[in-house]
Amino acid sequence: MAGRRVVVFPSSAELGPALASLVMSRAEKAISSRGRFTLGLSGASLVSLLSKELLALPQLDCSKWLFAFCDERLVPFDDPESTCGLYEKSLFSKANIADGGVLKIDPSLPVAECAEDYGRKLKDAFPGEIIPVFDLLLLGMGPDGHTCSLFPDHPLLGETEKIVAPISDSPKPPPQRVTMTFPIVNAAHCAAFVSTGGNKAPILKEVLEGREGPALPAARVVPENGELFWLVDDPAAASLTLQVERPGSGAKL
């Protein structure tokens, strides 16, 4: 791994443009070297933050981007719980995206078949790669330390064969979901967590500075040959004692 960087911003208002800058710099690098940019998305507060900041960029061109989802809830796209549905309204419908530029689950399938189908779509989109290697995965973290739909003490944390797995007993509703597993998450060229708000401070400290017992899911994101960023705001970073970067000190993502 190229090393973990923890970058702290005064608030999400300052974090947002830095996130967009990270996405655009990795997109430019990927397109110049491989002809396309592959981006894995997460939901929750990241949807509005990312959409707003990207659409504010006059040079935004998503015609060579491939979007996918780090996890998704097994609900129709018009359900408010659908991450894809939220991005469709806030970003996809407003950006120039090529036909086939968004890889989606098929929510009409039972959860196990849905995971298999989505896994096939990912593999078809990355021909010649045993495990698809994304240019950038944008990740969130729950107050319990989960990321994607990989929850503490869940059997899926030990999954080593499947790149996508079903989950029918999510401790956070809705219970049925499809999620990337650690083999694909840790194969990425770059993974970036976005974590904001004072309610994340205790768990962020556990994830970044260690804790007794098994490592929390978010702490297990360690790209084998890639970069790892934690972009956090001051309230979320309030309990940290480790050395962090701040944009004022010239931090360049």
Question: pLDDT tens digits for 76-108?
Answer: 999 999 999 999 999 999 999 999 999 999 999
Alpha carbons 117 and 109: distance in angstroms, whole number: 9
> What was the pLDDT predicted at 1?
47
Domain positions in the chain: 11-223
Q: Tokens 């990740």 sit at which residue?
A: 139
Identify whether the C-beta of residue 70 lies closer than 8 Å to the C-beta of residue 40: yes
pLDDT digits over 120-140, tens only? 999 999 999 999 999 999 999
> What was the pLDDT predicted at 136?
98
As a CATH number, domain 11-223 is: 3.40.50.1360
**b/e map of 91-112 (b: 16 or more CB within 10 Å)?**
bbeebebeeebbbbbebebebe
pTM of the model: 0.95
> What was the pLDDT predicted at 26?
97
How far is residue 57 CA from its own chain's centroid? 21
- CA torsion sign for 71, 77, 82, 83 is positive
- Within the chain, which residues score under 50 in pLDDT? 1, 250
